[in-house]
């Protein structure tokens, strides 16, 4: 199939897989450690004698193992998501593939794309990544999924309802992909209804 | 000030009053929050101090210091908010190009939306309470999607600029959507 651009020419950065686990560690890891330290201080002040060093070491190691386990679990999940996600800018349709176990494909006619958004959150800024969000006016990509659209972006990768997200692009790649899609929207728009609805 | 200018922003500028308006409207929440934290935690801290065997004069001293630092904390937050809003104002970017409307904002976590003129579903202008006080207008646009409603708006313009923007946008949309009647009927 001849495609102008795809997930091979515009790959999702490998660093992207670290984003979620890092975010998790930043959010909850520090929170856990804070609580543990607080409890240790409380116990120390109650019993009024120095806290055994071995206990502190044990708790630290235990916590590290738990956090590492969580980190690894999320990392593997994100890795699989990334590995199973693909897109290609075809002749008439924008084709997305996703799904680790149950596979899904979205075929998006260029004329139906409503708007294109490029966003970055804090971790994206740190890792130098860009999210490309493509939206059409479909209410959902399957039954029973509409309720999830209440949140702003239900997903970090892939498509859901009317939104498709390609994360982990470099600045140049995201700009280039945006230009390609905008150009396709212009040349491949529906003849009888240019509103895309 | 190093403003992120575009031809459109030069013609229809954002008002500088926007910085003050946004600072005030976002600091009010902080002020109320600090007030309630003070009301709830003040007596608790006072109670804790009185249960410990500390001389009364030291307790008063600590409370005095807290009373002194509390407004200063508020002023620091106020200053940071002002600087952030100024930065936000500087980096706010909107441009009306041949085919698309581009809006880019937020200095820390940037969001850029590109909308083709044909896809715009409505244009509306609104004012909230603070906008009325400062005489500012928000111009909103949206396509058929939810996120476009969240991202695509030009906030804090003076009346003339808002009117001008609205007219220009409507003109653009009208020119793009209108087409010969035969084509529609077929």
What gap in Å lies between CA B78 and CA B75, rounded to an integer? 5
User: In this complex, is the C-beta atom of A119 within 8 Å of any C-beta atom belonging to chain B?
Assistant: yes
Q: In what order do the strands lie in the sheet with A93-98?
A: A86-89, A93-98, A104-109
The single residue listed with the structure tokens 């087409």 is B179
Nearest residue to B145 via CA among A152, A83, A28, A121: A152
Helix (H) or strand (E) holding B8: helix B7-11
Query: In this structure, are strands A86-89 and A93-98 parallel, antiparallel, or unpaired?
Result: antiparallel
pLDDT, tens digit, 9 for 90 and up, residues B59-109:
788 778 888 888 898 999 999 999 999 999 999 999 998 888 999 988 999
Query: Angle A53-84/A16-24 helices, nearest 10 degrees?
Result: 140
User: Is this complex's ipTM strictly greater than 0.85?
Assistant: no
CB contact under 8 A, B114 and A117: yes
DSSP A101: S
CB contact under 8 A, A115 and B152: yes
What gap in Å lies between CA A85 and CA A133, rounded to an integer? 15
pTM: 0.79
pLDDT, tens digit, 9 for 90 and up, residues B119-157:
888 888 989 899 999 999 999 988 888 788 888 889 889
CB contact under 8 A, A125 and B109: yes
């Amino acid at each position: 199939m001849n495609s102008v651009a795809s997930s091979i020419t515009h790959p999702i950065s490998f660093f992207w897989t670290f984003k979620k686990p890092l975010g998790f560690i930043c959010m909850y890891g520090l929170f856990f450690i804070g609580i543990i330290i607080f409890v240790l201080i409380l116990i120390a002040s109650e019993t009024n004698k120095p806290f055994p060093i071995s206990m502190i070491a044990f708790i630290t190691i235990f916590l590290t193992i738990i956090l590492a386990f969580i980190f690894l679990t999320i990392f593997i999940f994100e890795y699989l998501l990334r590995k199973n996600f693909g897109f290609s800018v075809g002749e008439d349709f924008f084709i997305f593939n996703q799904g680790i176990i149950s596979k899904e494909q979205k075929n998006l006619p260029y004329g139906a794309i409503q708007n294109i958004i490029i966003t970055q959150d804090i971790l994206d800024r740190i890792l130098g990544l860009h999210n490309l969000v493509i939206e059409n006016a479909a209410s959902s990509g399957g039954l029973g999924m509409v309720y999830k659209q209440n949140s702003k972006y239900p997903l970090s990768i892939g498509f859901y309802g009317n939104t498709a997200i390609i994360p982990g692009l470099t600045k140049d790649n995201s700009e280039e992909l945006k230009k390609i899609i905008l150009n396709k929207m212009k040349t491949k728009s529906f003849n009888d209804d240019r509103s895309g609805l | 000030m190093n403003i992120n200018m575009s031809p459109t922003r030069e013609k229809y500028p954002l008002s500088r009053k926007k910085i003050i308006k946004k600072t005030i409207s976002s600091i009010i929440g902080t002020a109320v929050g600090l007030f309630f934290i003070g009301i709830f935690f003040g007596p608790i801290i006072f109670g804790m101090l009185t249960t410990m065997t500390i001389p009364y004069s030291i307790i008063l001293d600590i409370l005095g210091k807290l009373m002194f630092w509390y407004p200063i904390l508020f002023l620091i937050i106020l200053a940071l908010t002002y600087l952030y809003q100024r930065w936000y104002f500087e980096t706010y970017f909107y441009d009306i190009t041949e085919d698309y409307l581009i809006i880019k904002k937020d200095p820390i976590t940037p969001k850029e939306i590109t909308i083709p003129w044909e896809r715009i579903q409505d244009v509306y202008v609104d004012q909230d309470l603070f906008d009325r006080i400062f005489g500012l207008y928000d111009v909103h646009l949206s396509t058929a999607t939810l996120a476009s409603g969240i991202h695509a708006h030009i906030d804090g313009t003076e009346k003339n600029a808002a009117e001008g923007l609205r007219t220009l946008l409507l003109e653009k949309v009208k020119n793009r959507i209108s087409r010969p009647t035969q084509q529609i009927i077929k």
